[in-house]
Structure 1
Amino acid sequence: MDKEKVEQLKIQMQQWLNEAEEFINHIPPVQLYTAVGVVLFTLILLLIIRLFKRTTSNTIILTGLSGSGKTYLFYQLRDGSAHQGTVTSMEPNEDSFILHSEKDKKGKLKLVHIVDVPGHSRLRPKLDEFLPQAAGVVFVVDSVEFLPNFRPASEYLYEILTKASVVKKKVPVLLLCNKVDKVTAHTAEFIRKQLEKEIDKLRTSRTAVSDADISNEYTLGVPGEPFAFSQCHNSIIIAEASGLTGEISQLEKFIRENVKP
């Protein structure tokens, strides 16, 4: 653009500014203040609505090791049946629905968006796609096969509890001990204690990791004290369930506490 065109543009802009100033000067002060007030009120209202929408997510994530029974729970929540729950998921099961136990209730109910994230170690990065939207995380543990798997389960749970997307938003986590209908199932209290002990070892060993590797993590617990879930910034709840028999009342309670009807 040559200098002559630049000058013409400047002159045109100055004319527009002068016309705008003259127009404003002819508006009675009361009308002007009212108009400004309406604009400000509208902007504030839009901001509040946007913030409110951010904090009212309806997404609940089911995660945990492969074989813990997440897919059973997914179908129980949606259909009241464990059908199709015997196949190990290789892709996230994802759907929005009214909880099956609430289908006969009257009144408006908010849809729940349930995401069943595969537990295979190579597929876990998919979890990061959904965590920023989570209203709650359900970490499912196989109560029967807990002892052979408690170390990898502890490592996976540790990763979740130290993620910035969980800690910053204080996303509540339900530690769900599944398959409690089995005679050989371990109690929720036993599982809690073992996980706390193993996570305590993990946070000690990971202090040797370089700052670059833990830049997106948060430390757990209180320095100098044994780790306990009660020390976490977000709420950690321990409950029991049986996806096979449909005993999922504690899971449904957790969901509705975090996804209001």
Structure 2
Amino acid sequence: MEGTEELLKQLKQWSNVAEQRIREIPAEQLYVSIGVLFLTFILFLLIRLLKRTKSNTIVLTGLSGSGKTILFYQLRDGSSHQGTVTSMEPNAGSFVLHSESEKKGKINPVCVIDVPGHSRLRPKLDDYLPQAAGLVFVVDALDFLPNCRAAAEYLYDILTKASVVKKKIPMLILCNKTDKVTAHTKDFIRKQLEKEIDKLRTSRTAISDADIANEYTLGVTGEAFAFSQCYNKVVVAESSGLTGEISQVEQFIREIVRP
């Protein structure tokens, strides 16, 4: 009891001293201090809120037949699932990557959306870009050359969208089906796409702004186009959806959506 009384007495003394010190502070200075503390608290809450609401969505896109849907199922459950069936509707799911399914502890899930590559269905991509944390543009490395121009046009359209540029959404150009002997290398595909986009940039610049849908231009004036000139980060990697060799795309995803 004596110890408790002594503690209460000491607390009362400290309280009196603190009250006296506060009274000695000029009113204006006191109000400023309270205001600073209040703003700091609000800023702290906003930062916490933004961290909690950070997107975990990865959007798969690319031409039809490039292997996006198989890649989706490989990421989700480690199988090709529907084989080579072309997807006509978006596939979407929130899950822990299959390669991490046996890891211990809490692992953050990833929301993956596979957008159909058919030309009539590509406008659906605009529905998902606002929530995208990262983009994976899948390219058929086996049948690349006949589709190079079409792939470059689709890439150009994506890379010049305001929703991509303003948020600087990182993109992975994924050269799929590289398990095949006749598949092109990622370096060859990158160079060919850069050449085609450079041609597109020249031709579309010559058209009136009123006649084109692109919201931004690409590249540096007077220089050949390279992906390093894009507003957002663009990297190139390889994969094989059928064999399950998708480690590079998983690494890209986890650099954006932390486990």
**Band the TM-score falls in, shorter-chain normalisation:** 0.7 to 0.9
Where does 1:60-209 land on structure 2 (aligned, <5 Å)?
A: 60-209=58-207
Give, in angstroms, the shift of residue 42 of structure 1. 4.0
Partner Cα distance (1:61, 1:213) in 2: 28
Q: What is the alpha-carbon distance in structure 1 between the residues aligned to residue 211 and residue 50 of structure 2?
A: 32
Report the Cα distance in structure 2 between the residues aligned to 1:85 and 1:34, rounded to whole angstroms: 65
Q: Deviations over 1:146-203 (max 9, x none)?
A: 0111111000011111111111111111010000111211111111111000000000
What secondary structure does 2:249 align onto? helix
CA distance in 2, matches of 1:201, 1:38: 56
Q: Structure 1 residue 253 and structure 2 residue 257: aligned?
A: no
State whether residues 63 and 138 of structure 2, in contact with CA within 8 Å, keep that contact through their aligned partners in structure 1: yes
Q: Identity rate of aligned residues, in percent?
A: 72
Q: Is the 8 A contact 1:62 1:138 kept in 2?
A: yes
Q: How large is the RMSD of aligned CA atoms in angstroms?
A: 2.0
Structure-2 residue corresponding to 1:21: none
Question: 1:75–1:85: 8 Å Cα contact kept in structure 2?
Answer: no
Which residue matches 1:5? none
Q: Take 2:36 and 2:226, find their aligned partners in 1: how far apart are those partners?
A: 51
Write the letter of the residue equivalent to 1:200: D
Which residue matches 1:14?
Answer: none
Output the CA distance in 2 between the equivalents of 1:171 and 1:110: 20
Q: CA deviation at 1:208?
A: 2.6
One-letter code aligned to 1:152: A
Which of the numbers 209, 215, 218 marks the counterpart of 2:216? 218
- The 3-state SS of whatever aligns with 1:72 is helix
**1:45 aligned onto 2:71:** no
Instruction: Please state whether the residue corresponding to 1:212 is helix, strand or coil.
Output: helix
Query: Residues 247 and 215 (structure 1 numbering): CA distance in 2 closer, same or farther, change over 3 Å?
Result: closer
- Unpaired runs of 5+ residues, structure 1, are 1-28
Cα distance in 1 between the residues matched to 2:49 and 2:176 = 37
Indicate conservation of the 8 Å contact 1:141/1:176, yes or no.
yes
In the alignment, the residues of structure 1 paired with residue 126 and residue 185 of structure 2 have an alpha-carbon distance, to the nearest angstrom, of 30
Q: Which residue of 2 aligns with 1:9?
A: none
Amino acid at match of 1:62: L
Give the number of equivalent residue pairs.
Answer: 233
State the distance in 1 between where 2:220 and 2:33 align.
54
How many Å separate the matches in 2 of 1:58 and 1:248? 19
8 Å Cα contact 1:60/1:115 also seen in 2: yes
Deviation at 1:32, TM superposition (A): 7.2
Check whether the contact 1:196–1:228 (CA below 8 A) recurs between aligned residues.
yes
Q: How far 1:95 sits from its partner (Å)?
A: 0.3
Deviation of the 1:215 alpha carbon: 6.9
> Is contact 2:174-2:236 (8 Å) kept?
yes
Q: Which amino acid aligns with 1:43?
A: I
The answer to whether the 8 A contact 2:62-2:139 is kept is yes
Structure 2 runs not aligned, ≥5 long: 1-26
Residues in 2 aligned to 1:36 and 1:174: alpha-carbon distance in whole angstroms: 45
Distance 1:50 1:196 in 2: 39
Q: Which residue is equivalent to 1:17?
A: none
Bigger CA drift: 33-42 or 230-239?
A: 33-42
Q: 2:157, 2:214 within 8 Å by CA — same for their partners in 1?
A: no
Q: 75-84 or 36-45, which moves further after superposition?
A: 36-45
Query: Judging changes above 3 Å, is the alpha-carbon distance between structure 1 residues 237 and 74 closer, same or farther for their aligned structure 2 residues?
Result: same
More off after superposition, 87-96 vs 212-221: 212-221
